[in-house]
A and B are shown apart, each in its own frame.
Chain A
Amino acid sequence: GAVVSQHPSRVICKSGTSVKIECRSLDFQATTMFWYRQFPKQSLMLMATSNEGSKATYEQGVEKDKFLINHASLTLSTLTVTSAHPEDSSFYICSAREPGRSTEAFFGQGTRLTVV
């Protein structure tokens, strides 16, 4: 299957700092990527849909000024958590859909963010 790479896999940062997470599609071009957040023993909650060359579409309740998404190329989307707080600590996962393969989505390895 298609490969989606997410980096870093784990990050610890201080309150008030910003953290950038990268999501890359390695063997296909992804016009659309998705960013999810997952709390322990909970399901994946969609945060936003990232579209190459245009603004991201955020789900209700997700602060777009806090979770900045940039999809500058067909193989890279980034999520920046700005002015991080301990409650932002979570598991962040990106996914990408390979064009022409219906709705199959392939996921990155996830990023464990801990804000101290």
Chain B
Amino acid sequence: QKEVEQDPGPLSVPEGAIVSLNCTYSNSAFQYFMWYRQYSRKGPELLMYTYSSGNKEDGRFTAQVDKSSKYISLFIRDSQPSDSATYLCAMSQRGSTLGRLYFGRGTQLTVWP
């Protein structure tokens, strides 16, 4: 079993829709949770960063972490065609491996006008 599981999609939604992206994980030591957006042939760009359980909101984006279920989500409200990209979840644990990220496979999202 991979440490981080993410449905690769593809996911296609109309403009204005609410998008829900999810990841599950198996390592209970993960404490830091991130969402990255990656456009084709570009490096990942950090979108959201959350420590431990809870919700975090930034504009149209909301990140949720449920450590009891080992489940994290990213919601995109009022989705735009410019949101079309691959979304990668990533997580890390405290300690000497600080900075070492474990990535999901990425979900390819297309928002059509």
Contact = CB atoms under 8 A, between A and B. Distances in A.
Say whether chain A's binding surface is mostly helix, strand, loop, or mixed: strand
A42 B99 contact: no
Contacts of B105: 42-43
B34 A104 contact: yes
A97 interface: yes
Contacts, number: 63
Contacts of A104: 34, 46, 49
Interface residues of A, number: 25
A95 B34 CA distance: 14
Contacts of A97: 98-99
Given A43-B103, A43-B104, 9 more contacts: A44-B44, A44-B103, A46-B100, A95-B101, A105-B46, A107-B43, A107-B46, A109-B43, A112-B41
B41 A110 contact: yes
